[in-house]
Chains A and B, each alone.
Chain A
Amino acid sequence: MSGPVTVQEIQATLPTGIVIHSYIKHGGQGSVFSGEYHGQQSAIKLVNPASTETKRIQREAEFLKKTNHPNIVKLFDHCEITLRTQPVQLLAYEFLDKGDLSSHIAPGTLPSSASVIKIATCIGSAINTLWLSPERVVHRDIKPENIMLNSAGEYLLVDFGFAKHIDLSDMTIAGSPGTRGYSSPEQAAGRKNLTLKSDIFSLGVTLFVYATGLHPYNGAQPLANSAIEQNIFALRPDFDPKLSQLIISMLNPSPSDRPTDLLTQLSQIKA
């Protein structure tokens, strides 16, 4: 058989209890479909058989299966199916129906400080949980596209394809991990043993973009000597200055100078 794989063709290979409804998007690792997992709405990812990241995906799946946090996407199941004689990894995640943060960034309609604080608190909590796990996980690709909203109004961190575990320091990854403009200077410089401070930087860029509609470095990848080119205080004079200052401190080029108590500081800021 040749030609594009159809939904029906995939459905025929799926284990009992997993149903695919429709195609959502295609990413670097494979394709994502909407569907069901034993009656629950689910986002089902099929990993491209040509992907060289099989081991990494397995580790991601192992980590997510044992992680239970309200701001980290839940993985229902991870298995392997055979599609056109090739083994394909399947990951069934909880379905997040309100889209990702990038779809909520619209020029001219700036969000309230309350929603900025909400995102920072949700994702900051997820970052802390990842880091405090025995594996010391760093997500390494926090950006608007990887923050999703569910129907309960919670923001969740998704796509752990680039997540780094300390015990995987010997694993290589094709290309440079992370996303240009959102990676921390140390990540962009190729530092191997990143800490949560790297994710805090990426969250800082994300919050800046969400709050102002502008990228703090005009879209460029920040380096250790990069200066922030946009003035958040002028762009969002309605914000509590402590919130703007906190976002700026998250963008400190020196990781040790970024906030260690992000959640505490957020709790002290008035929305």
Chain B
Amino acid sequence: MFLLNIGYDLSSGADINNIEGAVVLPSKNYSYRLADLREFPKLFIDPQLYLSSLSVENCLTPCAHLATYSWFQVPDIEQLQEGENKPEYQKKIKEIVPKKWTARIPIDILASCTSAIEFQNAHKCSHIILPSPLITMREDEAAVQAQWLDTGLNAYQALDISKPVLASVALDEAVLSSTSYVPGGFLDTIVDQVSSRPGISGVYIVICQTHRRGPYQSSENVNRAYLYLAKKFANTGLENIIVNFADVFGITCISQGATLVAIGSGQSERNISLKSFEDGGGAAIPHFFSRHSICEYQSESDLKQIIKQSLWRRIEDQTEFSRPLVEAIRAGRDASTVPTWAEGKSNTAQAKKHFVKSVQNILHDLQNDGDRNAFIMNWLEDAEMIQTYIASKVDKHFPERAAPVSRWLSLLNDQ
């Protein structure tokens, strides 16, 4: 059920056992770097064509990365030659891209689809994800995406590849409204378009948020759309329903029929917004994730309050990566005494690994539970109680990074 989103750090997750699979993100890598991908039981490369409208003025690095994938059809972009100096190649690409990046959907759909499929096949992917542009308008009823899907399926059949093929459904949050979820409404139209095409084994769902948002801060519309799409696609009998960039909320989509949830350790691998590719953002500090409260706590300042109120046992979440911190706290010390958890700028490696491992643990436990829906409801209800209890002891806005579990429960109850 768990897929790790892999950004720039291709070794990400290497020290985490039993990772079922990974989704590699081209926006974080020049294409030549993917030659070094390690093997996973399930490996996906997200073509990320939904990022074709990125502004090169504000997002030079991701545009430079994406331009090196031929399905974006950026002219005059060469591949890294054998023996070529990599920093010089990257510099050259960054000089060309501002002049050549069009921020538009590629014109030759068949060529774009063919190259995306060939690339995934050549890079040991277990499944093929067909590229599709971002759905940004309700009015065209995803007709452009239907055209890409038909063309992609034709290309896939022409290449005679035996790997399962998935349709991309990439939505801009701006197209969602309260009427999107009615029978025959906009989302239903999308499900109808995809599920009516035989030969597809699954769907890969991404919702791009309109604003750069922190952990758990997705809008209700985004959360609701993920649930709705997972449920509707599951009802059509598709074998693989992958939810990506839904953050921890993605786990709840399992109750609706999602089969795999992709999530990464960094913010840009947890949710996605075109704005999040723009330059900016400061250095992060380590946060401790608790699966029990579905919150993240600054490793020193927040946890000191937790310990002071004798609340640690409510949120303790032990993985091999949090063990030194857990043992220190049990021994009466705090995170400042654990170098890998001390609240220093960019000292986030261990916290990120712990987050990934903890999410993986939740999904592992969920997979082994006979009643997945009950598991998720119990998990959320327990978290809601813990959050409420902690808020009563510390502060109602504590901590800053907290999942809105009451809203999540309400959305699930509405399904």
Contact = CB atoms under 8 A, between A and B. Distances in A.
Tell me if chain B binds chain A.
yes
- Chain A CB count within 10 A is highest, among B182, B185, B193, B196, for B196
B236 A260 contact: yes
Given A224-B185, A255-B188, 15 more contacts: A166-B150, A185-B183, A185-B184, A186-B189, A192-B141, A193-B142, A195-B192, A195-B196, A197-B192, A224-B183, A255-B189, A255-B192, A256-B236, A257-B235, A260-B195
Contact of A256 (B142, B182, B188): B188
B377 interface: no
B184 A192 contact: no
A264 to B, nearest CB: 11
26 contacts: A132-B198, A136-B150, A166-B143, A166-B146, A166-B147, A169-B143, A186-B184, A186-B192, A191-B189, A192-B141, A193-B143, A195-B192, A195-B196, A196-B196, A197-B192, A224-B183, A224-B185, A225-B183, A253-B184, A254-B184, A254-B188, A255-B196, A256-B195, A256-B232, A256-B236, A260-B195
A186 B184 CA distance: 6
Contacts of A171: none
- Chain B CB count within 10 A is highest, among A166, A189, A191, A193, for A193
B193 A195 contact: yes
A256 B189 CA distance: 8
A192 B143 CA distance: 8
Contacts of A186: 184, 189, 192
A131 interface: yes
Interface string A59-95: 0000000000000000000000000000000000000
Contacts of A195: 192-193, 196
- Chain A CB count within 10 A is highest, among B141, B185, B232, B237, for B141
Contact of B196 (A191, A197, A254, A257): A197
Contact of B184 (A131, A132, A255): A255
A255 B186 CA distance: 11
Contacts of B147: 166
Contact of B182 (A166, A169, A224): A224
Interface string A243-271: 00000000011111100110000000000
B157 to A, nearest CB: 11
A252 to B, nearest CB: 8
Given A256-B232, A260-B236, A193 B184 contact: no
A255 to B, nearest CB: 4
Question: DSSP class of B's interface residues: helix, strand, loop or mixed?
Answer: helix
A269 B182 CA distance: 31
Nearest to A258: B192
Nearest to A132: B198
A240 B203 CA distance: 34
Interface in B204-247: 232, 235-237
Nearest to B235: A257
B191 interface: yes
A46 B280 CA distance: 69
Question: DSSP class of A's interface residues: helix, strand, loop or mixed?
Answer: loop
A260 B191 CA distance: 12
Given A193-B146, A224-B183, A256 B237 contact: no
Given A166-B147, A193-B141, A260 B237 contact: yes
A193 B193 contact: yes
A146 to B, nearest CB: 21
Interface in B141-196: 141-143, 146-147, 150, 182-185, 188-189, 191-193, 195-196
Contacts of A136: 150
A189 B141 contact: no
A37 to B, nearest CB: 35
User: Top 4 closest A-B pairs, CB basis?
Assistant: A195-B196, A254-B183, A256-B191, A224-B184
Nearest to A256: B191
B167 to A, nearest CB: 13
Given A136-B150, A169-B143, A256-B235, A131 B196 contact: yes
A26 to B, nearest CB: 35
Contacts of A132: 198
A9 to B, nearest CB: 45
Contact of A189 (B184, B193, B196, B232): B184
A166 B146 CA distance: 9
B269 to A, nearest CB: 30
A186 B189 CA distance: 9
Nearest to A190: B141
A223 to B, nearest CB: 9
A171 to B, nearest CB: 14
Nearest to A188: B184
A193 to B, nearest CB: 5
A131 B236 CA distance: 17
Nearest to A194: B192
A189 B138 CA distance: 14
A108 B141 CA distance: 44
A185 B195 CA distance: 18
Contacts of B142: 193
B387 to A, nearest CB: 35
